[in-house]
Chains A and B, each alone.
Chain A
Amino acid sequence: MKFSLNMNHVYALIALGIAVCTTDAAKADEAHAVKLYNTYCVQCHGVNRDGNGINSANMAVKPRDHTDTKAMGDTPDETLFKAIKGGGLAVSKSVLMPKWEGVLNDDEIKELVAYLRVVSKTTAK
Protein backbone atom coordinates (compact mmCIF):
# COMPACT_ATOMS: atom_id res chain seq x y z
CA MET A 1 0.00 0.00 0.00
CA LYS A 2 1.38 3.35 -0.96
CA PHE A 3 1.21 6.09 1.64
CA SER A 4 1.38 9.63 0.43
CA LEU A 5 1.67 12.60 2.75
CA ASN A 6 -0.74 15.40 1.96
CA MET A 7 -1.02 18.74 3.78
CA ASN A 8 -3.76 17.43 6.07
CA HIS A 9 -1.36 14.76 7.31
CA VAL A 10 1.28 17.40 7.91
CA TYR A 11 -1.16 19.52 9.93
CA ALA A 12 -2.22 16.47 11.89
CA LEU A 13 1.41 15.62 12.67
CA ILE A 14 2.13 19.18 13.78
CA ALA A 15 -0.96 19.16 16.00
CA LEU A 16 0.12 15.83 17.49
CA GLY A 17 3.61 17.19 18.09
CA ILE A 18 2.24 20.23 19.89
CA ALA A 19 -0.09 18.04 21.96
CA VAL A 20 2.77 15.72 22.98
CA CYS A 21 5.01 18.65 23.91
CA THR A 22 2.23 20.36 25.86
CA THR A 23 1.48 17.14 27.73
CA ASP A 24 5.16 16.68 28.49
CA ALA A 25 5.39 20.28 29.74
CA ALA A 26 2.27 19.82 31.86
CA LYS A 27 3.69 16.58 33.29
CA ALA A 28 6.98 18.31 34.11
CA ASP A 29 5.09 21.15 35.82
CA GLU A 30 3.05 18.68 37.80
CA ALA A 31 6.12 16.70 38.87
CA HIS A 32 7.70 19.95 40.05
CA ALA A 33 4.49 20.91 41.86
CA VAL A 34 4.49 17.53 43.63
CA LYS A 35 8.07 18.19 44.77
CA LEU A 36 7.08 21.65 46.03
CA TYR A 37 3.99 20.27 47.76
CA ASN A 38 6.03 17.53 49.41
CA THR A 39 8.57 20.08 50.61
CA TYR A 40 6.40 22.92 51.89
CA CYS A 41 2.76 21.80 52.15
CA VAL A 42 2.95 18.21 53.40
CA GLN A 43 4.08 19.32 56.87
CA CYS A 44 0.53 20.58 57.55
CA HIS A 45 -1.68 19.31 54.72
CA GLY A 46 -0.40 15.75 54.99
CA VAL A 47 1.00 12.88 52.94
CA ASN A 48 -2.55 12.10 51.79
CA ARG A 49 -3.23 15.83 51.14
CA ASP A 50 -6.23 15.58 53.48
CA GLY A 51 -5.22 18.11 56.14
CA ASN A 52 -3.62 15.51 58.42
CA GLY A 53 -0.01 16.67 58.25
CA ILE A 54 2.45 15.82 61.03
CA ASN A 55 1.97 19.39 62.39
CA SER A 56 -1.83 19.27 62.34
CA ALA A 57 -1.86 17.57 65.76
CA ASN A 58 -0.58 20.83 67.28
CA MET A 59 -2.81 23.24 65.38
CA ALA A 60 -5.93 24.97 66.69
CA VAL A 61 -7.32 25.25 63.15
CA LYS A 62 -7.15 22.12 61.02
CA PRO A 63 -5.36 22.63 57.69
CA ARG A 64 -7.52 22.54 54.56
CA ASP A 65 -8.32 19.08 53.17
CA HIS A 66 -7.13 19.36 49.57
CA THR A 67 -9.01 16.21 48.59
CA ASP A 68 -12.33 17.84 49.53
CA THR A 69 -13.85 18.22 46.06
CA LYS A 70 -16.79 20.32 47.24
CA ALA A 71 -14.82 22.89 49.27
CA MET A 72 -11.97 23.07 46.76
CA GLY A 73 -14.41 23.29 43.87
CA ASP A 74 -16.00 26.32 45.51
CA THR A 75 -12.65 28.07 45.86
CA PRO A 76 -11.50 30.10 42.83
CA ASP A 77 -7.92 29.83 41.55
CA GLU A 78 -7.34 33.45 42.49
CA THR A 79 -8.17 32.71 46.14
CA LEU A 80 -5.88 29.66 46.19
CA PHE A 81 -3.08 31.73 44.65
CA LYS A 82 -3.57 34.52 47.19
CA ALA A 83 -3.70 32.07 50.12
CA ILE A 84 -0.42 30.45 49.10
CA LYS A 85 1.33 33.71 48.29
CA GLY A 86 0.03 35.92 51.08
CA GLY A 87 -0.99 33.35 53.68
CA GLY A 88 -4.31 32.72 55.41
CA LEU A 89 -4.73 36.32 56.49
CA ALA A 90 -4.69 37.45 52.83
CA VAL A 91 -7.94 35.53 52.28
CA SER A 92 -9.48 36.07 55.73
CA LYS A 93 -8.42 32.63 56.94
CA SER A 94 -6.15 31.36 59.72
CA VAL A 95 -2.78 32.94 60.47
CA LEU A 96 -1.49 29.38 60.73
CA MET A 97 -1.32 29.23 56.93
CA PRO A 98 1.88 31.22 56.40
CA LYS A 99 2.71 33.30 53.39
CA TRP A 100 5.07 31.57 50.98
CA GLU A 101 6.04 34.50 48.80
CA GLY A 102 9.53 34.55 50.33
CA VAL A 103 10.16 30.99 49.13
CA LEU A 104 7.99 30.39 46.06
CA ASN A 105 7.80 32.57 42.96
CA ASP A 106 4.53 33.30 41.14
CA ASP A 107 5.08 30.58 38.53
CA GLU A 108 5.62 27.97 41.25
CA ILE A 109 2.49 29.12 43.07
CA LYS A 110 0.52 28.79 39.81
CA GLU A 111 1.91 25.26 39.41
CA LEU A 112 0.69 24.45 42.91
CA VAL A 113 -2.77 25.87 42.18
CA ALA A 114 -2.96 23.66 39.06
CA TYR A 115 -1.78 20.67 41.11
CA LEU A 116 -4.46 21.35 43.75
CA ARG A 117 -7.04 20.97 40.98
CA VAL A 118 -5.62 17.51 40.25
CA VAL A 119 -5.58 16.53 43.92
CA SER A 120 -9.12 17.77 44.55
CA LYS A 121 -10.45 16.48 41.20
CA THR A 122 -11.85 19.92 40.47
CA THR A 123 -11.49 22.26 37.51
CA ALA A 124 -10.08 25.77 37.38
CA LYS A 125 -12.46 28.54 38.33
Chain B
Amino acid sequence: MRLRILIAALAAFSGAAHSADLLSQQCVACHAITKPANASLERLWDRKAPDLYYAGNKFNKPWLVSWLQNPTTLRAGGVMYSKAVKPSGDKTADVIDAAQVPAHPKLSAADAATAADLLMALKVDGLVTPGAFKGEPGGPMASMLFSKLRGCTSCHTAKAGDKPTSGPEMVTAGDRLQPDFVHAYVSNPQKFDAHVWMPSLGLTDGDVQKLTAYISTLKEKK
Protein backbone atom coordinates (compact mmCIF):
# COMPACT_ATOMS: atom_id res chain seq x y z
CA MET B 1 0.00 0.00 0.00
CA ARG B 2 2.78 2.38 0.95
CA LEU B 3 4.46 1.65 -2.34
CA ARG B 4 1.30 2.37 -4.30
CA ILE B 5 1.08 5.70 -2.53
CA LEU B 6 4.74 6.34 -3.29
CA ILE B 7 4.25 5.42 -6.91
CA ALA B 8 1.19 7.65 -7.15
CA ALA B 9 3.05 10.52 -5.49
CA LEU B 10 6.10 10.17 -7.71
CA ALA B 11 3.95 9.89 -10.81
CA ALA B 12 2.02 13.01 -9.90
CA PHE B 13 5.30 14.78 -9.24
CA SER B 14 6.74 13.78 -12.59
CA GLY B 15 3.49 14.28 -14.41
CA ALA B 16 3.59 10.69 -15.72
CA ALA B 17 0.54 9.07 -14.22
CA HIS B 18 0.34 6.65 -17.11
CA SER B 19 3.83 5.28 -16.39
CA ALA B 20 3.05 4.86 -12.73
CA ASP B 21 -0.03 2.85 -13.63
CA LEU B 22 2.13 0.73 -15.86
CA LEU B 23 4.49 0.05 -12.98
CA SER B 24 2.01 -0.55 -10.24
CA GLN B 25 -0.26 -2.62 -12.41
CA GLN B 26 2.11 -4.41 -14.77
CA CYS B 27 5.55 -4.84 -13.12
CA VAL B 28 3.99 -6.25 -9.97
CA ALA B 29 2.34 -9.01 -12.00
CA CYS B 30 5.76 -10.69 -12.13
CA HIS B 31 8.12 -8.89 -9.74
CA ALA B 32 7.98 -8.58 -5.94
CA ILE B 33 8.40 -4.91 -5.12
CA THR B 34 7.94 -5.40 -1.39
CA LYS B 35 9.74 -8.03 0.67
CA PRO B 36 7.79 -11.29 0.32
CA ALA B 37 6.31 -12.62 3.54
CA ASN B 38 6.84 -16.25 2.54
CA ALA B 39 10.50 -16.67 1.62
CA SER B 40 10.12 -20.38 0.84
CA LEU B 41 11.70 -22.67 -1.70
CA GLU B 42 8.26 -23.02 -3.33
CA ARG B 43 8.12 -19.26 -3.86
CA LEU B 44 11.42 -19.39 -5.74
CA TRP B 45 9.89 -21.98 -8.06
CA ASP B 46 6.64 -20.10 -8.45
CA ARG B 47 7.85 -16.54 -8.94
CA LYS B 48 7.77 -15.23 -12.49
CA ALA B 49 10.62 -12.74 -12.29
CA PRO B 50 13.45 -11.57 -10.02
CA ASP B 51 12.60 -9.63 -6.87
CA LEU B 52 12.88 -5.88 -7.19
CA TYR B 53 12.15 -4.78 -3.64
CA TYR B 54 15.84 -3.89 -3.17
CA ALA B 55 16.33 -2.60 -6.75
CA GLY B 56 17.61 0.74 -5.42
CA ASN B 57 20.36 -1.10 -3.52
CA LYS B 58 21.25 -3.18 -6.55
CA PHE B 59 21.15 -1.44 -9.89
CA ASN B 60 22.90 1.47 -11.55
CA LYS B 61 20.21 3.84 -12.76
CA PRO B 62 21.65 4.60 -16.24
CA TRP B 63 21.75 0.87 -16.93
CA LEU B 64 18.11 0.48 -15.86
CA VAL B 65 16.96 3.30 -18.13
CA SER B 66 18.79 1.79 -21.07
CA TRP B 67 17.92 -1.87 -20.40
CA LEU B 68 14.21 -1.24 -19.91
CA GLN B 69 14.08 0.23 -23.41
CA ASN B 70 16.12 -2.56 -24.94
CA PRO B 71 16.04 -5.61 -22.66
CA THR B 72 18.70 -8.27 -23.16
CA THR B 73 18.80 -11.75 -21.63
CA LEU B 74 20.44 -11.59 -18.21
CA ARG B 75 19.53 -15.11 -17.08
CA ALA B 76 19.80 -17.65 -19.87
CA GLY B 77 17.42 -20.01 -18.09
CA GLY B 78 15.05 -17.34 -16.85
CA VAL B 79 14.32 -16.57 -13.23
CA MET B 80 14.31 -20.28 -12.28
CA TYR B 81 16.81 -22.03 -14.53
CA SER B 82 15.66 -25.49 -13.46
CA LYS B 83 12.30 -24.98 -15.17
CA ALA B 84 14.03 -24.22 -18.47
CA VAL B 85 16.81 -26.81 -18.68
CA LYS B 86 16.37 -30.03 -20.62
CA PRO B 87 18.73 -32.85 -21.57
CA SER B 88 20.69 -32.30 -24.78
CA GLY B 89 19.84 -35.81 -25.94
CA ASP B 90 23.43 -36.68 -26.82
CA LYS B 91 25.15 -36.97 -23.44
CA THR B 92 26.51 -33.43 -23.57
CA ALA B 93 25.57 -30.50 -21.34
CA ASP B 94 21.88 -29.78 -20.78
CA VAL B 95 20.39 -27.05 -22.95
CA ILE B 96 17.92 -24.23 -22.39
CA ASP B 97 14.39 -24.57 -23.70
CA ALA B 98 13.98 -21.01 -24.98
CA ALA B 99 10.18 -21.38 -24.99
CA GLN B 100 10.36 -21.40 -21.17
CA VAL B 101 12.12 -18.03 -21.03
CA PRO B 102 9.78 -15.15 -21.84
CA ALA B 103 11.25 -11.87 -23.03
CA HIS B 104 10.91 -8.75 -20.88
CA PRO B 105 8.56 -6.09 -22.30
CA LYS B 106 10.19 -3.08 -23.93
CA LEU B 107 9.39 0.30 -22.43
CA SER B 108 9.35 3.68 -24.15
CA ALA B 109 12.10 6.13 -23.20
CA ALA B 110 9.68 8.09 -21.01
CA ASP B 111 8.32 5.01 -19.25
CA ALA B 112 11.84 3.63 -18.74
CA ALA B 113 12.97 6.86 -17.12
CA THR B 114 9.97 6.90 -14.78
CA ALA B 115 10.31 3.21 -13.98
CA ALA B 116 14.02 3.66 -13.19
CA ASP B 117 13.19 6.55 -10.82
CA LEU B 118 10.64 4.42 -9.01
CA LEU B 119 12.87 1.35 -8.90
CA MET B 120 15.82 3.30 -7.51
CA ALA B 121 13.55 4.37 -4.64
CA LEU B 122 13.05 0.72 -3.62
CA LYS B 123 15.63 0.19 -0.89
CA VAL B 124 15.91 -2.06 2.15
CA ASP B 125 17.93 -1.09 5.21
CA GLY B 126 20.63 -3.50 6.34
CA LEU B 127 20.89 -5.52 3.15
CA VAL B 128 23.77 -3.70 1.47
CA THR B 129 26.43 -1.81 3.44
CA PRO B 130 27.36 1.46 1.72
CA GLY B 131 31.14 1.66 1.35
CA ALA B 132 31.69 -2.07 1.97
CA PHE B 133 33.58 -2.23 -1.31
CA LYS B 134 36.76 -0.28 -0.74
CA GLY B 135 37.17 0.62 -4.41
CA GLU B 136 40.67 -0.76 -4.73
CA PRO B 137 41.70 -2.47 -7.98
CA GLY B 138 41.42 -6.25 -7.90
CA GLY B 139 44.97 -6.86 -9.13
CA PRO B 140 46.18 -9.62 -11.41
CA MET B 141 44.69 -12.41 -9.29
CA ALA B 142 41.11 -11.12 -9.45
CA SER B 143 40.14 -12.65 -12.79
CA MET B 144 41.85 -15.88 -11.74
CA LEU B 145 39.73 -15.95 -8.58
CA PHE B 146 36.60 -15.52 -10.66
CA SER B 147 37.50 -18.20 -13.19
CA LYS B 148 39.65 -20.93 -11.71
CA LEU B 149 40.15 -20.50 -7.99
CA ARG B 150 36.57 -19.93 -6.85
CA GLY B 151 34.78 -21.33 -9.85
CA CYS B 152 32.39 -18.39 -10.41
CA THR B 153 32.52 -19.04 -14.17
CA SER B 154 30.79 -22.39 -13.68
CA CYS B 155 27.52 -20.53 -13.13
CA HIS B 156 28.18 -16.99 -14.41
CA THR B 157 29.42 -16.00 -17.85
CA ALA B 158 32.02 -13.24 -17.98
CA LYS B 159 32.48 -12.93 -21.75
CA ALA B 160 29.93 -12.31 -24.48
CA GLY B 161 29.28 -15.53 -26.37
CA ASP B 162 30.04 -17.87 -23.44
CA LYS B 163 27.75 -20.88 -23.13
CA PRO B 164 24.54 -20.38 -21.09
CA THR B 165 24.67 -20.98 -17.34
CA SER B 166 22.31 -21.17 -14.39
CA GLY B 167 23.27 -17.80 -12.91
CA PRO B 168 22.87 -14.28 -14.31
CA GLU B 169 25.48 -13.15 -16.85
CA MET B 170 28.30 -11.02 -15.50
CA VAL B 171 29.24 -9.73 -18.95
CA THR B 172 27.48 -6.44 -18.24
CA ALA B 173 27.64 -6.62 -14.42
CA GLY B 174 29.91 -3.58 -14.17
CA ASP B 175 27.30 -1.49 -15.97
CA ARG B 176 24.38 -3.07 -14.17
CA LEU B 177 25.27 -3.54 -10.52
CA GLN B 178 26.39 -1.30 -7.69
CA PRO B 179 29.74 -2.58 -6.33
CA ASP B 180 28.45 -2.54 -2.74
CA PHE B 181 25.59 -4.80 -3.84
CA VAL B 182 28.04 -7.20 -5.50
CA HIS B 183 30.09 -7.24 -2.28
CA ALA B 184 27.00 -7.99 -0.17
CA TYR B 185 25.58 -10.62 -2.49
CA VAL B 186 28.83 -12.53 -3.04
CA SER B 187 29.47 -12.46 0.72
CA ASN B 188 26.11 -13.99 1.56
CA PRO B 189 23.51 -14.68 -1.15
CA GLN B 190 21.18 -16.22 1.46
CA LYS B 191 20.87 -12.83 3.12
CA PHE B 192 18.86 -11.84 0.04
CA ASP B 193 16.96 -15.10 -0.21
CA ALA B 194 17.46 -17.97 2.21
CA HIS B 195 16.81 -20.57 -0.51
CA VAL B 196 18.59 -19.15 -3.52
CA TRP B 197 20.83 -21.61 -5.40
CA MET B 198 23.99 -19.50 -5.30
CA PRO B 199 26.06 -21.03 -2.49
CA SER B 200 27.79 -19.03 0.24
CA LEU B 201 31.41 -19.89 -0.42
CA GLY B 202 32.73 -18.53 2.87
CA LEU B 203 35.18 -16.22 1.11
CA THR B 204 37.53 -13.90 2.98
CA ASP B 205 36.77 -10.21 2.69
CA GLY B 206 40.02 -9.89 0.73
CA ASP B 207 38.68 -12.29 -1.91
CA VAL B 208 35.28 -10.58 -1.97
CA GLN B 209 36.99 -7.21 -2.49
CA LYS B 210 39.02 -8.58 -5.41
CA LEU B 211 36.00 -10.31 -6.96
CA THR B 212 33.88 -7.16 -6.61
CA ALA B 213 36.63 -5.11 -8.23
CA TYR B 214 36.87 -7.59 -11.10
CA ILE B 215 33.09 -7.87 -11.61
CA SER B 216 32.85 -4.07 -11.66
CA THR B 217 35.21 -4.00 -14.65
CA LEU B 218 32.96 -6.28 -16.71
CA LYS B 219 31.16 -3.86 -18.98
CA GLU B 220 29.52 -3.97 -22.34
CA LYS B 221 31.95 -2.91 -25.03
CA LYS B 222 30.59 0.10 -26.87
Contact = CB atoms under 8 A, between A and B. Distances in A.
Contact of B93 (A35, A40, A56, A102): A56
B163 A52 contact: no
Contacts of B41: 35-36, 39
Nearest to B163: A57
Q: Is the interface of A mostly helix, strand, loop or mixed?
A: loop
A58 B82 contact: no
Q: Which of A46, A55, A100 has the most CB of B within 10 A?
A: A55
B201 A39 contact: no
B73 interface: no
B149 A95 contact: yes
Contacts of B86: 47
A87 B203 CA distance: 13
Contact of B151 (A96, A100, A102): A96
A122 B189 CA distance: 34
Report, as a range, how many residues of chain A touch the other chain. Answer: 20 to 34
A39 B82 CA distance: 6
Q: Which of B44, B86, B96, B155 has the most CB of A within 10 A?
A: B155
B87 A55 contact: no
B70 interface: no
A43 B93 contact: no
A48 to B, nearest CB: 5
13 contacts: A36-B41, A52-B91, A52-B93, A55-B155, A58-B157, A58-B163, A58-B165, A95-B149, A95-B150, A96-B151, A96-B154, A99-B199, A103-B195
Interface of A: 35-36, 38-40, 42-44, 46-48, 50, 52-60, 87, 95-96, 98-100, 102-103
